[in-house]
Amino acid sequence: MPFYEKGQVRIHYEEAGSGFPLLVIPGGGLNSTIEGLKTHPFNPLDEFKDRYRVIAADLRNANGGQSTGPLEIDRPWDGYTDDHLGLMDHLSIREFMVLGFCIGGPFIWNLLKRAGDRVVAGVLTQPSGYRPTQPDLFYQNNIKGWAPQLCQSRPDITMEQAGAFLENMYRKNADFVFTVSRDFVRQCQTPILVLPDDVPAHPYAVAIETVHLAPNAQVSLYPWKANPEQITIALRHVGTFLKANTPAAAAQRPMAAAAQ
């Protein structure tokens, strides 16, 4: 069971297959874990391992996962993005594609903001977003569904700290995709494929707005997960998208070589 460690951070990850790297961010909100992928509409570790080096990790401090680290109250989104980029560095991967479910949507946008030159393409699957009609949804979901269990397993973290963390994560960024502005999306040339959803935490309107704004975005059929046939059709689109955007010189350029 491999771990990436940096200071107090310890991230459990898994890999499957070989080829150009595909970072997978599981859904499940702040309880995003590799194990959770088994309950997703599809499991990228299975679906794409024949063509790609698929890498997935438990989110830092996810209940049910094995990744641990400090609660970075003042930089919640960036704390997680540090882990994603740090894991890629640890694996000597410079350029990669990324596929994320749910909370993976905001994480992908943050990756694009912070390391746009490393992310070759992004697939946002049932992405999370802000819904004005339910403005406190994420804070409430996590203060009930994530924080108490975390505080129980980590006596160094209090509910007050968890509340401040969630306040900074969701209430102070209460718009759009939480992590980036519409202006950022408008100028982001990275190819994007969005597979929309429309449950309270995954607003269809926000997913489509990002597709309309991003100059290189595509969107799947919708709905795409009402039955197994739809999922298969959507996966063919994802397969085409990933293949079309895999760099010709397939890539695993080690960081050292890329830096030269």
Partner 1 sequence: MPFYEKGDVRIHYEEAGSGFPLLVIPGGGLNSTIEGLKTHPFNPLVEFKDEFRVIAADLRHAKGGQSTGPLEIERPWDAYTDDHLGLMDHLGIRQFMVLGFCIGGPFIWNLLKRAGDRVVAAVPVQPSGYRHEMPELSYKNNMKGWGPELCERRPDIKMAQVDTFLSNMYRGERADFVYTVTRDFVRQCRTPILILPDDVPGHPYAVALESAYLAPNAQVSLYPWKMSPIQIQIALRHVRGFLKTNRPAAAAQPLAAAAQ
One-letter amino acid for residue 51 of the chain:
R
Which pair of structure tokens corresponds to residue 100? 């994320």
Which residue blocks in 116-175 are alpha helix, DSSP H?
137-145, 147-153, 159-166
What phi, psi does 59 have (nearest 5°)? -70, 145
SS (H, E, C) 134-149: CCCHHHHHHHHHCHHH
Nearer to partner 1, 18 or 218 (CB): 218
- Collapsing DSSP to helix, strand or coil, 230 comes out as helix
Nearer to partner 1, 48 or 241 (CB): 241
Nearest distance in Å: CB 76, partner 1: 32
Nearest distance in Å: CB 125, partner 1: 15
Nearest distance in Å: CB 112, partner 1: 17
Nearer to partner 1, 101 or 241 (CB): 241
Nearest distance in Å: CB 74, partner 1: 37
Nearer to partner 1, 63 or 245 (CB): 245
Q: Which residues of the shown chain bind partner 1 in the complex (CB under 8 A)?
A: 191, 211-212, 216-222, 229, 233, 236-237, 240-241, 243-245
Nearer to partner 1, 142 or 220 (CB): 220
Nearest distance in Å: CB 243, partner 1: 5
One-letter amino acid for residue 93 of the chain:
I
Nearer to partner 1, 35 or 209 (CB): 209
Beta strand ranges found along 126-229 (DSSP E): 192-195, 217-219
Count of all residues that appear for the chain in the document: 260
Nearest distance in Å: CB 208, partner 1: 9
Largest CA distance in the chain: 50
Handedness of CA 258, 238, 38, 26 (dihedral sign): positive
